[in-house]
């Protein structure tokens, strides 16, 4: 009994550590999500500015902001404008792909969190097959398994903290 309690406590400790890890990971993902959404918003804003036809000086400023070297195109403002526009579109797509990846990882964390305290002994069933005995019926021998409440989780299927 004492051993079982010690084991349960050790498992609880592991669960707490895993939950902490998941929270940390989630926090990082949330921050990354904020960053990505801000970038997309900024890129879109600049895209709109270009659509509306910003003056060349401002166009150059946008190019510098997104680290695109279009100096060579600048004698041809229309070409530079298109290059920057396409680069912005590319960056938006790139950021949106990253956003879906972050979403996927967030879901993964949610699933892990749901499974984190499932009892390792009974796999969440709350009972365990214990003894197997045989009964004879007419000339057939039938195996019978009896199920006992799982002692580790007390039949709950989960280790409650």
43 to 82: interface string for Zn ion, x by CB under 5 A: ----------------------------------------
SS3 (DSSP) at 102: helix
Does residue 150 interact with Zn ion by CB under 5 A?
A: yes
Contact predicate 19/113, CB 8 Å: yes
What number of other Cβ atoms are within 10 A of residue 97's Cβ? 11
- 28-31's contacts with Cβ under 8 Å and 24+ in sequence apart are 29/102, 29/105, 29/106, 29/109
62/122 with CB nearer Zn ion: 122
Interaction between residue 36 and Zn ion (CB under 5 A): no
Contact call for residue 11 and Zn ion (CB under 5 A): no
Report the nearest approach of Zn ion to the CB of residue 116 (Å): 14
Q: Segment near Zn ion (CB under 5 A), from 15-23, 30-38, 49-57, 153-161?
A: 153-161
| Cα of 79 vs its chain's centroid, Å | 41
Rule CB under 5 A: which residues touch Zn ion? 119, 121-122, 150, 152-153
């Amino acid at each position: 009994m004492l051993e079982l309690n010690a084991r349960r406590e050790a498992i609880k400790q592991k669960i707490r550590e895993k939950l902490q890890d998941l929270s940390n990971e989630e926090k990082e993902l949330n921050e990354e999500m904020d960053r990505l959404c801000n970038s997309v918003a900024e890129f879109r804003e600049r895209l709109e500015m270009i659509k509306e036809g910003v003056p060349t000086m401002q166009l150059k400023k946008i190019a510098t902001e997104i680290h695109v070297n279009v100096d060579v195109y600048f004698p041809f403002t229309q070409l530079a404008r298109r290059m920057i526009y396409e680069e912005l579109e590319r960056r938006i797509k790139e950021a949106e792909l990253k956003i879906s990846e972050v979403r996927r990882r967030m879901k993964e964390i949610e699933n892990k969190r749901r499974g984190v305290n499932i009892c390792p002994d009974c796999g969440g069933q709350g009972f365990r097959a214990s003894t197997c005995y045989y009964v004879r019926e007419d000339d057939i021998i039938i195996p019978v398994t009896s199920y006992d409440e799982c002692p580790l989780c007390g039949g709950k299927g989960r280790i409650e903290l």
